Structure 1
Amino acid sequence: MRRVPVTALHAGMKIARPVYSAGGQMLLSAGLELTERYIERLGKLGINFVYVEDGLLPDLEVDDVISDETRSRARSLMRELLQSSTGKRVDIKRCLLLSKEIQSVVENIVDELLGNKNLIFDMMDIRTHDDYTFAHSVNVGVLAVMAGLAMKMPRERLLQLGKGAMLHDIGKIDLPLSILNKPGKLTEDEFDQIKKHCQVGMQILKHSGYVNIVEAAVALQHHERYDGSGYPGGLRGEQIHLFSRITSIADVYDAITSNRVYRPAFPPHEAYELLAAGGGSMFDYEIVRIFIEIIAPYPLGTIVELSNGEIAAVVENIPGFNLYPRVRVLFDPYGQEVGEMKEYFLARQRDIVIHKVIDDVFKYVKERSAQKKSG
């Protein structure tokens, strides 16, 4: 099994992990053989990658950090919550009822993560354009809790952090989709409307009566920046609550690794570098240092070219060695398939490093083979 960008899919590949909508509807089932029509449909849905079986890594299993059942339930609840407004009127009673259910799903997330050893985020969530807001809220909650775990927070604090992080964007509940999904640059007036979602979210949660002030503060402060350049209050440093500082990093990471109508997703290794560069300016340096230890710049199944010219797949990510995973060599420098098992743990093989990520490996090795023949 490996993760393949939709732009690099070929007819005949088989879906390895089902693709669901935010409402829980299965769009593509595991085992389905892809056709050109299916691949075109995936592109139109705004899905930027899927997990496939193509014979390269038949023994590799890629598992989510939480169960499919918990993720599906969380996404469905967030979908219902963020659609619980009529026109400009927010249904506070409905929000209250759903927030109680969200408390339950956050408990599941926290307990599942507490029971997961050597935790690292190396499976990307598959989502459509229409599912972005709901899936994003869940991912931010999961990432925030993972960071809290790495910071040795007790369970009760993790529950508060997870709930606040999952509800961070509730203030977008009555923003028009024409602004949220605008493909071009926002006008000044439109950006002012976007910025109001922080105060709106704080008010919704505060008046719901089921969210404490610390959890509600995340909705208000998740766009504040450590250097004071954020909004709505221009807060800086430790004026920003710890939960908000964590959530802001999770929010940005998940947003930039997702396809949006106005730009394609950043690959995980580029998002990793962007976050690392933001430590001490946009973000709290110490939290960034912890956060980049729990995310994989090269998720399992990523195909890479090594500095010695060999082409390999990432088969294991080990916490603390994120930039130096274990890789399995698939092709030699000339694009010829390697006959016997050959792996490097790059943390110990320091004379070999990852040179670049390859999206379409079959096209790449074909070109390599052609070069060898012509040379």
Structure 2
Amino acid sequence: MKEIKIAELKKGTAAEFDYYGRDGKILIKKGVPVDDTLLNAISRRNITRFFIQEEGEDIKKLLALNMQDMDDLQFEEDSSLSDLSPASSATETITFKLPPENVLPVLKTIKSGEEGIRQMLETKPVRSMDDAVDKSGAVMSVLPIGEPIEKMAKEKKVGERTMEYKQETIRSYENAVQETKSILLSIRNGALADGGRVTNLVRGFVRTFLNDKHMLLNLANARSTEPDYLFSHSVNVCLIAISIGASRGFDKDQILEIGIGGLLHDIGTLLIPDAIRFKKEPLSRDEILEIRKHPMLGIHLVEKIKGLPSSVSFICYQNHERENRQGYPKQRNSRLIHDFAKIVSVADVYESLTADRPYRNGHIPYKAMESILRSVKEGLFNADIVKYFLDYSSLFPVGSLVKLNSNEIAKVIRPNKGHYSKPIVSVIINSNNALLKEHEIHVIDLSTAKDVQVVQAVDNRKLQVELMIGF
């Protein structure tokens, strides 16, 4: 807490912060008018000083699981911009050459419901994974061992990216979604796959990171026109997981493993019936249980890919496990969950929250990050991993839009480590709601601009600002 003297309260203004007493209770709420009535009340109580939370202190408390109330973090979302478009749905179904039981013969004997999950857990590849954890003492904790990729990566500034570079980056992203689709569908249709093809795809993302360290998080805001959400979701989870892993300090080889696991983490869902995957109504209990088979199905499918690191199977199997043993399929505690799976789980949930699904619109990035932070408090996610994500993304994630107190709209382009609510932004829309020309776009570091701050997180579905504008 930072100490503030009464004299710093300016009459005729609104309280800039929540002001606390020595006992930690709020004495003056943010936004309350500072007038004679308030100042006289303070004087009568012989209060001479207050305390405010220092920048980042609220987040640090949360990540220590010691924050009193997430409301301290909330910024008002622009209600006029939210929920304006209908939820998307698959407009095209993919015809598979083989039914699931022909791809995995073991499925011929697998029943529905809880009995089916128990049967899947007893299949040989799945049992081998559990034995590695329970009997062989497989190492779940992974430490950085080589040169951190983060230190090798370049940081481009606004104006350094040419239009040709931006267009080529978007084309590369779209090609990656199609390549991911091709790889996953070939496996779904019974083919054996070369792990080199998957590895080369992820290596391309790593090269992009090394050349332009914040580009991956910006690209993760892209929404492919591909009707099956799985393919763009897999790519976006890979991009986010690479960034979290880089923030953790992992080297290039470790990042490659994380990226491959992120790309393949949901491969098992391809064996879930489309009637369940694309259902717009709430799932029944039996349908939820069918969905929960996909980590085990993923292990079986990953076996069809030659030359993958062993960690990839752990990521596919454990990315739905949770720190407080409330995940699935085994309700593992934190010590028995692979660190790479923990990274991918955060990336997976964040990306899922921001994407449109058949049954709902996606959340704006700020709301998705807020949900991730609440999940830390609830014991679902590893607090350190979420902090690594925040360090690289900020509370208002890279690529998202925010409204400033100047009534301008800005794009978040870089985080300010430790200043989670004050990232570096580029102003792209002026106070008259006009899109700025390229040469008019300007950058503001909100950690040093004393009179400028974020007042709202903005839903880009209303504004439809192109991905690379202001970046």
TM normalised by structure 2 equals 0.57
Contact 1:100 1:210 (8 Å CA) reproduced: yes
Decide whether aligned partners of structure 1 residues 265 and 66 sit closer, same or farther in structure 2, where only a CA change above 3 A counts: farther
Task: Write the mapping of 1:52-91 to structure 2, written as runs, cut at 5 A.
Answer: 67-84=169-186, 90-91=188-189
Q: Deviations over 1:113-161 (max 9, x none)?
A: 1232466723411223714110000111111111111112121111111
* 1:67-121 Cα shifts (integer Å, max 9, x gaps): 3344233211221233336xxxx544x2423x43111111121222123246672
Aligned amino acid, residue 199 of structure 1: M
Equivalent of 1:115 in 197, 211, 222 = 211
Distance 2:278 2:435 in 1: 44
Judge which range, 193-202 or 314-323, deviates more: 314-323
2:147 aligned partner: none
Alignment check: 8 A CA contact 1:120 1:294 kept: no
Aligned to 1:293: 391
**Match among 89, 104, 111 for residue 200 of structure 2:** 104
Q: Which residue of 2 aligns with 1:185?
A: 282
Which of 358, 361, 376 aligns to 1:261? It is 358
Which SS does the other structure have where 2:393 is aligned?
coil
Partner of 2:111: none
Alignment partner of 2:446 out of 330, 342, 346: 346
Residue 284 of structure 1 deviates from its aligned partner by 0.5
Q: Which position in structure 1 is the counterpart of 2:104? A: none
Query: When the two structures are aligned, how many residues end up with a matched partner?
Result: 308
* 3-state SS in 2 of match to 1:314: strand
Q: Give the CA deviation at 1:45.
A: 7.8
Ranges of 4+ aligned residues in structure 1 off by more than 4 Å: 39-46, 57-66, 117-120, 298-301, 329-332, 334-338, 340-344, 358-363
1:269 CA displacement: 1.1
Greater C-alpha Rg? 2
The runs of 5 or more residues in structure 1 that have no matched partner are: 1-6, 9-38, 47-56, 364-375
- Paired AA for residue 116 in structure 1: D
Offset at residue 351 of structure 1 (A): 4.9
Deviation readout 1:296-337 (Å, 9 max, x if unpaired): 52555725142xx533423643442452233538555x9899
Structure-1 separation of matches of 2:259 and 2:291: 23
Kindly state the Cα deviation for residue 42 of structure 1 after the two structures are TM-superposed. 11
Q: Does 1:304 align with 2:400?
A: no
Give, in whole Å, the separation in 1 of the partners of 2:346 and 2:170. 24
| Structure 1 Cα separation of the partners of residues 415 and 344 of structure 2 | 24
Q: Distance in 1 between matches of 2:318 and 2:334?
A: 12
Farther off after superposition, 107-116 or 313-322: 313-322
Matches within 5 A, 1:135-150: 135-150=232-247
Residues 120, 317 of structure 1: 8 Å contact kept? no
Gaps of 5+ in 2: 1-79, 92-157, 464-471
CA-CA distance at 1:60 after TM superposition: 9.7
The answer to whether the Cα contact below 8 Å between 2:265 and 2:298 also exists between their aligned partners in 1 is yes
CA distance 1:209–1:328, change in 2 (3 Å)? closer
Partner of 1:53: none
Give, as a single letter, the amino acid of the residue that structure 2 aligns with 1:175: I
Partner of 1:17: none
Please give the alpha-carbon distance, in whole angstroms, between the structure 2 residues aligned to 1:336 and 1:105.
Answer: 39
Q: CA–CA distance in 2 between the matches of 1:211 and 1:361?
A: 38
Question: Does 2:421 align with 1:323?
Answer: yes
The answer to whether the aligner puts 1:356 opposite 2:452 as a matched pair is no
Counterpart Cα distance in 2 of 1:183 and 1:341: 41
Relative to structure 1, the CA distance from residue 311 to residue 237 in structure 2 (aligned partners, 3 Å threshold; closer, same or farther) is: same
**C-alpha contact 1:304 1:357 (8 A) present in aligned 2:** yes
Q: Distance in 1 between matches of 2:412 and 2:390?
A: 19
Q: Which residue of 2 aligns with 1:371?
A: none
User: Residue 355 of structure 1 aligns to which amino acid in structure 2?
Assistant: V
| Aligned residues of 2:214 and 2:398 also touching (Cα < 8 A) | no
Seq. identity, %: 22
SS state at 2:456 partner: strand
The aligned counterpart of 1:34 is: none
Deviations 1:42-68 (A, max 9, x none): 97889xxxxxxxxxx999989879933
Please say if residues 78 and 134 of structure 1, whose CA atoms lie closer than 8 Å, have aligned partners that are also in contact. Answer: yes
